[in-house]
Amino acid sequence: MSRESDAELPGDVLPGVLSESLHAELVAFRRDLHMHPELGNQEFRTTAAIKERLEQAGLRPRVLATGTGLICDIGLPEGQRPAVPMLALRADIDALPIPDTKTDCPYRSTVPDRAHACGHDVHTTVVLGAGLVLADLETKGLLSRPVRLVFQPAEEVLPGGALVAIGDGALDNVGRILAVHCDPKVEVGRIGLRHGPITSACDRLEVALDGPGGHTARPHLTTDLVTAAARVAVDVPALVARRVDTRAGLALTWGRIESGHAPNVVPQHAELSGTVRCLDLDAWRDAPDIVHAAIDEIATLHRAKSEINYVRGVPPVVNDRESTELLRRSMVARRGLKSVESTEQSLGGEDFSWYLENVPGAMARLGVRSPGDRMVRDLHQGDFDADEYAITVGVEMFTAAALLDDM
């Protein structure tokens, strides 16, 4: 499928351009996923649909040992090791536990309180489409190196399904890995790129405070847990921010605080939970100790006993320079210089970072905003949707990358 392009080279200089018929098929596939979202580690229907389509193309996908997610090699006979390291293309396949609030949308979610509101259905369809195109090129002798497709479960579940996929061999014999993530701020037909960190680290924090309660008429005989919890909520983020280099972007943000049941009773228990996000890898590694110390200081000051559950999430996604350049060259070859824009580092977390702890790679922000659409629908919102031309853009960028990669 084609739209107006300002490519410096014609799009058909490289093979691997998406046909109108395959674009239509992929749109239908994406809409089916969108209507049937599944949460992390529960993506059985999604896995089966991907597996069936790959097998129809003559490929041999392997479902991960956990039962969801799969790996599929193109251009590598079963049981053989590649002569050169493979390029891997990764997609995440899970949805979010939020309702789909779109109206007048024929493919809105049919599952209550479940929605593909982060674009994983688009990511999945892009990698599937790239796999189908590359499989066809391989049969024609036009694919010079093998490519691995990685359909990963549970990206939204800390510490991320990437660790499951890696443990099941997703990176065996892989020399580089690429991914895309939908970006509603970027217009369709374009991508956002950044060398170095492109996302932040993200951890989960749960704090329990305990102490003797009592009557509000005699607070001096109690541990005032409501005040203690309030001071932890206000003071700990400020302390944490002052104990690291401000350029590290270490931020603690609370999402829940709960204590007490009656207006005249000082409670015996309080809870807070939130996230810790960090732009810098070294500061992220030090974050648990810094956060623990700050919470203990404030809790002790108010005579509260603290119990801290610091759940490690994901490190930042740090794009390798050569892999970022490969994505840039691939996009320029398809759609010209103006199709690539710079993007900022976000405070969102992404478990694609775990792959990059092992092999070089890069993630691009895939534009999904329709031309002329002034309303930016944010990720993780029930009304999120994507311009489906982004599927063609992503597929053709990935197929170009597979042909241009000279690792």
Q: Tell me the mean pLDDT per 10 residues along the chain, length 407.
A: 47 82 98 98 98 98 98 91 94 97 95 97 98 97 96 95 97 98 96 96 96 94 95 97 92 96 96 95 93 97 97 94 98 96 93 97 97 83 96 98 92
Q: Which two tokens stand for residue 392?
A: 């063609």
Phi then psi dihedrals of residue 335, to 5 deg:
-135, 5
97: DSSP letter: S
pLDDT at 407: 74
Residue reference for tokens 């399904």:
161
Q: Which residues contact 149 (CB under 8 A, 6 or more apart)?
A: 54, 61, 71, 72, 73, 74, 88, 89, 91, 127, 128, 130, 131
Do residues 35 and 108 touch, judged by C-beta distance below 8 A? Answer: yes
pLDDT of 347: 86
Q: Do the beta carbons of residue 190 and residue 341 sit within 8 Å?
A: yes
What does the pLDDT read at residue 3?
A: 59
Task: Give the helix, strand, coil percentages of the chain, each rounded to 5.
Answer: 35, 25, 40
Do 127 and 120 meet the contact criterion of CB atoms below 8 Å apart? no
Regarding pTM above 0.75, the answer is yes
Residue-wise burial string across 42-61, b where 16 or more C-beta atoms lie within 10 A, e elsewhere: bbeebbebbbebbeebebeb
| CA neighbor of 319 nearest in space, from 359, 277, 347 | 359
Alpha-carbon span 200 to 249, nearest angstrom: 9
Helix 44-56 vs helix 20-35: crossing angle, to nearest 10: 160
Q: Which tokens belong to 39?
A: 């949460």
For residue 5, give every residue at least 6 positions away whose Cβ sits within 8 Å of its Cβ, in sequence order, or none.
11, 189, 334, 335, 336, 339
Alpha-carbon distance of 99 to 115, in angstroms, equals 6
The reported pLDDT for the residue numbered 378 is 85
d(CA 42, CA 104): 28
* Residue the block writes with tokens 């079963």: 78
Identify the three-state secondary structure at position 245: coil
